[in-house]
Chains A and B, each alone.
Chain A
Amino acid sequence: MLKQISLGRYYPGTSLLHRLDPRAKILLSFFYMVIIFLVQEPLPMLLLGLTTLVLMLLSQVPMRHILGSLKPILFILIFAFVINLLTIKGDELLTVGPVTISEQGLETAVRMAIRLMLLIISTTLFLTLTTTPILVADAIEHLLNPLRRIGFPAHEMAMMMSIALRFVPTLLEETEKIMKAQSSRGADYDTGGLIAKARGLVSVLIPLFVSAFKRAEELAIAMEARCYRGGEGRTRLKVMRYTPMDIVFSCLLAAGCSAILLVQYL
């Protein structure tokens, strides 16, 4: 059943990484991203890899689950690796027929592949695996709040994100129902050519959109009836507070990363 699809790949838990403030996690993953791109040399890169491994262990999410997040980008990873490997000219390392692989090419390809992997692993670790989507939305609202003064609709954006998250399962369920109903009327979504399939989709998408609009309308009225009038003067059930743990962890990670950079530039 579509109903059981969970959004994102949140892995419930109570590890240190789970308990960090989501705002801290967003900022840390940006910081980590920068570090990943600054690191060039093999030794610092190895150290950064080890740091990432420590983070993975800290999250208490099974390795298999973490590495699974690489699957969607596996193709890009291999593609970029091969392109870099074959196109970058330099000192010849190996020649097979018309194909020449250079020392620089191999180096760049490996470095890039490692960077991409570290990037994906660290962001999924911080943001998707240990933080629920709704907390990410909340944290983004908080972080963007200062921009409200220049007219940026931070609250509205976060509200839209959280309502979208709320309705994904409902709409998935509805899609399944509509498909079943149209199947009973002879619609066929599996066989037939591209055009037939596209036509079949129309019979699902139109009712789905109609119902989504109706839901939106009713939800708006229901929200108004519950005194919703935008972000002004609104309080929250869950107040985000940085704890000493957030500060200590952030400082440690920053110190570690700086040390790695130091190794590289000294």
Chain B
Amino acid sequence: MQAFIDISKVHFSYRQSNQDPLLAVQDVSLQIASGSHVAILGRNGSGKSTLARLINALEQPSKGVVVVSGRNTAQEENVWEIRRLCGMVFQNPDNQIVGTTVEEDVAFGPENLGFPQPDIRRAVDESLAYVGLAEDAQKPPHLLSGGQKQKLAIAGILAMKPACLILDEATSMLDPVSRHDFMQLVQTLVHDQNMTVVNITHHMEEVLLADFVYVMFGGRVVTSGTPAEVFDQVSLVRREGLDVPDHTEITHTVARLLDGSLQPLEAASWDRARLAIIRLLDEANRRAAQTGWYPELPRKERPVPPDEAETVIAVNNLSYVYAPGTAMETRALDRISFDVRKGELLGIIGHSGSGKSTLIQHLNGLLRGHKGQVTVLGMDGSTNADIKKIRQRVGLLFQYPEHQLFEETVFQDIAFGPKRMGLDMAKIEPRVLKAARIVGLQDEELERSPFELSGGQKRRAAIAGVLAMEPEILILDEPAAGLDPAGRDEILDYAAQLRRMGVTVILVSHSMEDIARLADRVLVLRQGRVHAFGKTADVFSQEEELALAGLSLPRTTAFLKSLSDALPALDWHCFKPEEAALRIAAAGLNPAFCAERTV
């Protein structure tokens, strides 16, 4: 049977001015069967997006052949039919909507193809109904949420009667709930309409939904297989800067700690991983009983959260209403009370629309509450008097901060904040250099234009811009949004590093994993109210409470909990895979356990 998409020995390079051409794709060959769901996994810059454009005939290979549904993409006369057959959803929801109303946007493709008017009407109505946006047909698209915008993009493609859907990091700007919804819609398309799906992504959870995965690195396919086969190569996947499922990673770490070995695919599924762990423990205990030798477990200390530290931010009964007195009136914050202690890392978690962004803007005076008090470092945040001082001492880093760079050089951009504070140059320079060092920017990069930097470097420069003000309190709003796993880990490491340096950090995120790993205490927001507030371990052990807010246990915690029947001594309030593996080993390594199991 001929594959729907057949890529053979394809090379592609971008022409760059004044530089050698950049080889983005090298010698890639792959076949995608009709009706299959294939994921292409890789870091930013691995060439995976270029591959998408090659399939869609937006680019032509410099060597090799791409054939889609029997048509060579290099032939001019095939281009439009290929683009109709393979619809593409891009990363940024805003930058792919053409129409001024939802319905007009969906009609854009069929209009371009010259469908007769009654057919366009039918296609638009059917597609909107399919993705669940029928009621929003007349809305202007900017009033939709990010997730709805991406569904709109799918509707626009469906209206063109395609055979294949290419998702080019389509979920990377969505929150977890919208991402889940979006992927469910994609799954339905695969099952109901026999749609071929090519999902280009760096999200491990999405890859698990695919039938087959290609992992790309440096323009090449480095490995491929079913998701289980690929993730079983834990060290390879990790080395490429990607995530593996927590249960797989934990199981592999346990095997390493206990000096045991795993069969291929033994840690692939959740259930098999549990059995594998029990087996590994059994074997280690038996070995220990015979030889008297126990594997030595490394000790790891978690920094103790400052319990009795002074309060730096106190929020009392804060309420805020957007656009009061109009039809758009929304209660964004409703009687919020909490405190932030000096030197702690406070996580704020909640869905889009739960009030997170509105809340943090109160903490440095960008917004003033309609009711309630905000006291920041002893100053009143609700009056004008201290606003300047508050903003100097409380740094706020917005989402996608790289969009705010503007100076001629990176150095000047980082120096902007300190300059506005009225410092003289002699004091500014060391601050800039120090901030640049924390985020790992090289000296020669400081003299370049911020717009020449890569995406990840831009983000670092923007973070340095806030750090150079040397705030006592630093608020980070989704600092890792849109980054691949390695980029995310790096940014979150800064947050942990700053906390160790004594900075009070407030981290806003929708990722349970990130918050759980880093935060001393957690504030859970739900519909503008405080849903839960307390120590991380306490908040994340209340599974039912979390479920009410539409949140689930962090994946590592959930997996540990599922092991606690077999391992009564296991404390499952743990969020990092490594630490989890240690706890499993510690809880399972004893002769009694072995005896119990063998009886």
A134-B113 in contact given A4-B326, A206-B406, A215-B95 (Cβ < 8 Å): no
B108 touches A3 (CB 8 A): no
CA distance A70 to B403 in the complex (A): 39
Judge if B395 is at the interface, Cβ distance under 8 Å.
yes
Q: Which of A169, A186, A224, A233 has the most CB of B within 10 A?
A: A186
A186 touches B96 (CB 8 A): no
User: CB-CB contacts of B103-114 with A at 8 A, as 1s and 0s?
Assistant: 110011111111
Interface size class of B (residues with CB under 8 A): 35 or more
A237 touches B103 (CB 8 A): yes
Chain B residues 382 to 420 lying within 8 A of chain A, measured CB to CB, are: 388, 391-392, 395-398, 401, 403-406, 416-417, 419-420
Chain A residues 203 to 240 lying within 8 A of chain B, measured CB to CB, are: 203, 206-207, 210-211, 214-215, 218-219, 221-229, 233-239
A203 touches B94 (CB 8 A): no
CA distance A51 to B535 in the complex (A): 72
A-B contact count, CB below 8 Å?
157
A181 touches B114 (CB 8 A): no
Nearest-CB residue, chain B, relative to A165: B100
CA distance A221 to B91 in the complex (A): 12
Q: Which of B403, B417, B421 has the most CB of A within 10 A?
A: B403
User: CB-CB contacts of A1-36 with B at 8 A, as 1s and 0s?
Assistant: 101100000000000000000000000000000000
| A134 touches which of B92, B104, B160, B388 (Cβ 8 Å) | B104
Judge if A166 is at the interface, Cβ distance under 8 Å.
yes
A236 touches B117 (CB 8 A): yes
Query: In angstroms, how far is the closest chain A Cβ from the Cβ of B499?
Result: 20
Stretch among B7-15, B80-88, B312-320, B488-496 lining the A interface:
B80-88
| A226 touches which of B92, B95, B112, B465 (Cβ 8 Å) | B112
A207-B95 in contact given A134-B100, A187-B420, A234-B114 (Cβ < 8 Å): no
User: CB-CB contacts of A129-167 with B at 8 A, as 1s and 0s?
Assistant: 000111000000000000000000000000000110110
Query: In angstroms, how far is the closest chain A Cβ from the Cβ of B46?
Result: 19
CA distance A218 to B419 in the complex (A): 35
Q: Which of B56, B114, B397, B420 has the most CB of A within 10 A?
A: B420
Q: Write out the residue numbers on chain B whose beta carbons fall within 8 Å of the beta carbon of A162.
A: 98-100
| A180 touches which of B104, B140, B156, B361 (Cβ 8 Å) | B361
Q: Write out the residue numbers on chain A whose beta carbons fall within 8 Å of the beta carbon of B109.
A: 226-227
A226-B396 in contact given A3-B142, A4-B326, A234-B112 (Cβ < 8 Å): no
A225 touches B56 (CB 8 A): yes
B98 touches A223 (CB 8 A): yes
A183-B391 in contact given A210-B451, A226-B156 (Cβ < 8 Å): yes
B90 touches A222 (CB 8 A): yes
A4-B328 in contact given A183-B391, A187-B420, A227-B113 (Cβ < 8 Å): yes
Q: Write out the residue numbers on chain B whose beta carbons fall within 8 Å of the beta carbon of A132.
A: 100
Judge if A184 is at the interface, Cβ distance under 8 Å.
yes
B94 touches A170 (CB 8 A): yes
Judge if B124 is at the interface, Cβ distance under 8 Å.
yes
Judge if B309 is at the interface, Cβ distance under 8 Å.
no
Judge if B294 is at the interface, Cβ distance under 8 Å.
no
Q: Write out the residue numbers on chain A whose beta carbons fall within 8 Å of the beta carbon of B94.
A: 170, 215
Judge if A202 is at the interface, Cβ distance under 8 Å.
yes
Q: Write out the residue numbers on chain A whose beta carbons fall within 8 Å of the beta carbon of B156.
A: 226
Query: In angstroms, how far is the closest chain B Cβ from the Cβ of A76?
Result: 30
A211-B403 in contact given A184-B396, A219-B95 (Cβ < 8 Å): yes
CA distance A227 to B109 in the complex (A): 6
CA distance A260 to B97 in the complex (A): 48
CA distance A235 to B118 in the complex (A): 11
Judge if A173 is at the interface, Cβ distance under 8 Å.
yes
| A228 touches which of B56, B108, B364, B405 (Cβ 8 Å) | B108
Query: In angstroms, how far is the closest chain B Cβ from the Cβ of A132?
Result: 8
CA distance A222 to B404 in the complex (A): 24
A186-B90 in contact given A170-B142, A226-B156 (Cβ < 8 Å): no
Judge if B26 is at the interface, Cβ distance under 8 Å.
no
User: CB-CB contacts of A80-114 with B at 8 A, as 1s and 0s?
Assistant: 00000000000000000000000000000000000
Chain A residues 61 to 85 lying within 8 A of chain B, measured CB to CB, are: none
CA distance A180 to B99 in the complex (A): 28
Q: Which of A182, A183, A222, A234 has the most CB of B within 10 A?
A: A222
Judge if A177 is at the interface, Cβ distance under 8 Å.
yes
Q: Write out the residue numbers on chain A whose beta carbons fall within 8 Å of the beta carbon of B100.
A: 132-134, 162, 165-166
Judge if A178 is at the interface, Cβ distance under 8 Å.
yes
User: CB-CB contacts of B498-530 with A at 8 A, as 1s and 0s?
Assistant: 000000000000000000000000000000000
Judge if B566 is at the interface, Cβ distance under 8 Å.
no
B406 touches A207 (CB 8 A): yes
CA distance A27 to B115 in the complex (A): 29
Q: Write out the residue numbers on chain B whose beta carbons fall within 8 Å of the beta carbon of A183.
A: 366, 391
Judge if B116 is at the interface, Cβ distance under 8 Å.
yes
Judge if B120 is at the interface, Cβ distance under 8 Å.
yes
A222 touches B392 (CB 8 A): no
CA distance A206 to B364 in the complex (A): 24
A229 touches B58 (CB 8 A): no
Nearest-CB residue, chain B, relative to A232: B114
Judge if B434 is at the interface, Cβ distance under 8 Å.
no
Judge if B338 is at the interface, Cβ distance under 8 Å.
no
Query: In angstroms, how far is the closest chain B Cβ from the Cβ of A136?
Result: 11
Chain B residues 55 to 92 lying within 8 A of chain A, measured CB to CB, are: 56, 58, 80, 83-84, 87-88, 90, 92
Judge if B469 is at the interface, Cβ distance under 8 Å.
yes
A235 touches B115 (CB 8 A): yes
Q: Write out the residue numbers on chain A whose beta carbons fall within 8 Å of the beta carbon of B223.
A: none
B101 touches A134 (CB 8 A): yes
A222 touches B417 (CB 8 A): no
Chain B residues 174 to 231 lying within 8 A of chain A, measured CB to CB, are: none
CA distance A212 to B101 in the complex (A): 20
Q: Which residues of B contact A (CB under 8 A)?
A: 56, 58, 80, 83-84, 87-88, 90, 92, 94-101, 103-104, 107-117, 120-121, 124, 140-142, 156-157, 160, 322-323, 326, 328, 361, 364, 366, 388, 391-392, 395-398, 401, 403-406, 416-417, 419-421, 451, 465-466, 469
- Add 19 more A-B contacts to A162-B100, A237-B107 (CB < 8 A): A1-B322, A133-B100, A166-B97, A181-B398, A183-B391, A186-B388, A186-B392, A187-B420, A188-B420, A221-B58, A222-B88, A223-B108, A226-B112, A227-B160, A228-B108, A229-B80, A235-B117, A236-B117, A237-B120
| 7 closest A-B pairs by CB | A186-B420, A237-B107, A222-B96, A206-B406, A218-B95, A169-B142, A184-B396
Ordered by A's residue number, 6 sampled pairs between the chains whose C-beta atoms are within 8 Å are A4-B323, A186-B469, A215-B95, A218-B90, A226-B87, A237-B124
Q: Which residues of A contact B (CB under 8 A)?
A: 1, 3-4, 132-134, 162-163, 165-166, 169-170, 173-174, 177-178, 180-188, 202-203, 206-207, 210-211, 214-215, 218-219, 221-229, 233-239
